[in-house]
A = this chain, B = another copy of it.
């Protein structure tokens, strides 16, 4: 990055490059773009960074990111509080909300079990999940973690804690993606689609 002439630009480019998915070349381009923005817009960008970091925290109920004490989903009386969809990250909540079909609530684990990377059960928001279901108001917990080794392990582990409490634990269905082409599906997906076949 020593090929920008101005030091503040080098520093800014390095900040951009520290973000995921932004390489040195893009970071430099972004830094140059900031130069072409007016001072007010740059100030607003800086304020947005500080503001998001300062005012956004975890919902005290579902652990999703929110600027309120309780997030809009948890405080919405029309949502069915007896069904909890457990996801890895806030991004996944957004994905489910986009479907406009799910009317239950969520619980964000903020990670998946991965003992190799030192992510043990106490690093996830599992304690908070168990506390939520302990009052008996929850009938079903949907484990909506990714269909990966870590996602499956986390779902299995959570299920092993929840089932003894008399709660129905379900897992997302895995099969052919809608609009997908059978010929291009990988073996595991196709096997899952066959195994989980439904009556017509």
A-side interface residues toward B, CB under 8 Å? 3-9, 11-12, 15, 18-22, 26, 28-35, 37, 39, 41-56, 59, 64-67, 71-73, 89-91, 93-95, 97-98
For this chain, the copies found in one complex come to 2
In Å, the complex CA distance between A39 and B56 comes to: 12
In Å, the complex CA distance between A29 and B20 comes to: 8
Residues in chain B near residue A72, CB distance under 8 A: 5
The smallest C-beta distance from A46 to any residue of chain B, in angstroms, reads: 4
Residue from B19, B32, B53, B67 within 8 A of A39 (CB atoms): B53
Q: A19-B30, A20-B29, A56-B35 are in contact. Are A5 and B48 (CB under 8 A)?
A: no
Among A26, A47, A98, residue most surrounded by chain B Cβ atoms (within 10 Å): A47
